A = this chain, B = another copy of it.
Amino acid sequence: MPKLDDVVQEIAHDMRQRHDRGEVATYIPELARVDVNSFGIAVIDADGHVAAAGDSDTPFSVQSITKVFTLTLALGMIGDRLWKRVGREPSGSPFNSIVQLENERGIPRNPFINAGAIAVTDVILSGHEPRVALGEILRFLRFLAEDPSIVIDEAVAASEQRTGFRNRALANYMKSFGVLENPVDYTLGVYFHHCAIAMSCRQLATAGRFLAHLGRNPATGHSVVQPERARRINAIMLTCGHYDGSGEFAYRVGLPGKSGVGGGILAIAPGKASIAVWSPGLDSAGNSHLGRIALEQLTRRMGWSIFG
């Protein structure tokens, strides 16, 4: 077995030099101006040892990766009743498709496409003021990441609010079927803000540890969720975590993972490690191009694939 630190350094070195970096998201200026050459990686093993390289302490916009944590939070609030409002099947469609909603009476296919994450946000909101719900999400992430300095990038949130017409369409569409319970603007406000949370690879990998270790953070001993629930969240990450590139990620990387349009990916090697990578260039399915390649190398060299 190669040494994790060496592998991580070598991967970071290799990624720094590659020219095929994908395309940085351009739909809001805050994301468009991120340096495409950024690359960070942080891996926390079962003993709490952190192997990190590159821009592993630079905060970036986690975007859809928060969907993992809002799902965890909503399951904690209403348990399996959540599955009446969102499915758990891969969608076979891009992240922002509305076609599926029309065919299935407004019930999003899974909590990791935009529509599904909006429905999950609506559950967390559940009649509270948006800032209360947002506070709860932020507190949860700071707790998991063991870092009270995590904040929302307000400029990103404002840009998303201003330009998020497609998400607004999804939310109103679900509202028309009664799938959302709160005022659309409230739910979307919370959604746009939690997508705008900025975290570093180190923070993100720390926050994901409970998923690698049967629902419990082995450092603090805090149980976040029951083991069964941790497994199930991992299962949804594997089948649905990369939009219409989920099959590809499972095939190449072989780990549960969740990507964000900011170029981050959180991946879980059950029993072994929690991993975060960041490279802002995206592939055609909207997932970090080098992030996926780095994870593919890491899993192969460490023998961490869950598939054998």
Contact = CB atoms under 8 A, between A and B. Distances in A.
Given A89-B246, A169-B170, A232 B251 contact: yes
B92 A307 contact: no
B234 A239 contact: no
A76 B228 CA distance: 37
Contact of A165 (B101, B184, B244): B184
Most buried by B among A173, A211, A214: A173
Contact of A87 (B230, B247, B250): B247
Interface residues of A, number: 59
A248 B235 CA distance: 9
Contacts of A98: 98-99, 101-102, 169, 173
Contacts of A214: 308
Given A87-B247, A92-B109, A306-B306, A176 B169 contact: yes
Contact of A90 (B175, B176, B246): B246
A306 B256 CA distance: 10
Interface of A: 87-93, 97-103, 109-110, 165-166, 168-173, 175-176, 184, 211-214, 227-228, 230-232, 234-236, 238-240, 244-248, 250-251, 254, 256, 268, 270-271, 300, 305-308
20 contacts: A87-B247, A89-B248, A90-B247, A98-B98, A98-B102, A98-B169, A99-B102, A99-B103, A165-B175, A168-B169, A172-B172, A228-B300, A230-B308, A232-B307, A234-B307, A238-B250, A240-B247, A268-B308, A270-B307, A306-B306
